[in-house]
Amino acid sequence: MPQFSYSAINKNNEPVEGVVEAADENTAADILIEHGLAVVSLASAQKPIWQRSLTGWEHVKSRDIVILFRQLSVLISANVPMVQAVRVLEGQVDNATLKRTVGELAADIDGGAKLSQSMSRYPHIFSDLDCSLIQTGETSGKLDEVLEYVANQKERDYDLTKKIQGAMIYPALVVSLMVVVGSVMIIFVIPKLTDLLQQGGVELPLATRILMKTSAIITHWWWIIIILVAGAVVGLRMFIKTDYGRWHWDALKLRIPLFGKLFQRVYLVRFCRSFQTLLIGGITVTRALAIVSEVVGNTIYRQLIERTIKEVEGGNSISTVFAQSAFIPPMVPQMMAIGEQTGKLDDILEKISQFYTREIDNTVQNITSFIEPFVIIVIAGGVGLLFAAVIQPIYQLSSGAF
């Protein structure tokens, strides 16, 4: 919980100083007043560096948040007081980071903060979307229903992410295996083969000479190659962290052959689900768009949504702006226009997300079906190269010996 250092005057008109823990500055002032102190000054007090959380190294899985929200929904629906419910969950959470965070949530709530207000202090765990929806649940008195709804949405996002990862695991494994086999051949097999062929005086095919030259470069200059590869990886990561680099990286993902359409549909489903959820929760259109722009996960779509906010504030419709984007299928703005005209935009968004969720399933299946024969062709090519560069010279050498 945040700490605030204060200077005050007690009932005996004596100056006192100290530190108080509270959810925010106003709550801290109320606590001091309840203790009979006249507040002179109040300021945030930072914790010592060894007590601060290393948030950059913390990781809480989406699945853990889903379980937390579901359990909290059950406890609240059973009329368990909020502080007690959060304390109960603190004892059930396995993830060390989340356990500590839930304990701090309980302390904040005990100090007078609302759940959404306290969660907003942990943006690396609870998104702005989560906090906004929970705030609507607190206002409407339907927090248990909102928590269950948010948990369902996050679980659907989790399943969507797993589908994408599943589609990319197979090609990643194949590429990794090919790199390992190729490295073993170049580092260990080719140097021994080079000595054998040079002693035999056999005329070497072009493929063999290229392979031998590559092997010599790698075995002699391996440390430079490692430095260059590491430097390229670090440089790419630093480039992506810049606004310019992030934009180009996100644009590249949307244009990758085979996978580009998949990424586009994933971001579109994420937008529709999040936007629909906020509209159902009573959030205004512009505020909902602002929140969604931060959770959509792609710079291209974030900039599109930000431009949409300005146009909506100027009196234009969302569908008009979306129709101008090359990364939005024509069907989407057409359906959204109907939703805007009929006042049922949330229903239309749900139908769009359902349609493109099915499209994602079909795309994943198509990618898998395409990759299998592609891998067979690549392996066949590798075997052919191996024969031309390694086996054929050995055969010529053995034939010449007889």
In the chain, where are the structural domains located? 3-51, 59-155, 260-361
- Which pLDDT value is given to residue 167? 73
Q: Which residues contact 86 (CB under 8 A, 6 or more apart)?
A: 72, 102, 105, 106, 109, 115
Q: Which fold has domain 59-155?
A: Receptor-associated Protein (1.20.81)
Q: Is 225 in a helix, a strand, or coil? A: helix
pTM across the whole model: 0.70
Mean pLDDT by 10 residues, the chain (402 residues): 75 77 72 78 63 54 89 91 91 88 88 86 86 86 87 84 78 81 80 73 75 84 92 94 92 89 91 89 89 88 94 92 93 95 93 92 84 81 77 71 46
Tally the C-alpha atoms within 13 A of residue 231's C-alpha that lie toward its C-beta. 6
Domain 3-51 = CATH 3.40.50: no
Domain 260-361 = CATH 3.40.50.300: no
Q: Which two tokens stand for residue 180?
A: 């390992």
- Which pLDDT value is given to residue 174? 78
- Which pLDDT value is given to residue 56? 42
CB-based contact 397:201 (threshold 8 Å): no
CA distance 349 to 347: 5
Residue whose structure tokens are 């067979």: 376
Q: Which residues contact 88 (CB under 8 A, 6 or more apart)?
A: 75, 80
**Can 3-51 and 59-155 be said to share one CATH topology?**
no
Helices (H), 221-344: 222-241, 243-255, 260-280, 285-295, 299-313, 318-322, 331-342
Number of H helices, E strands in the chain: 18, 3
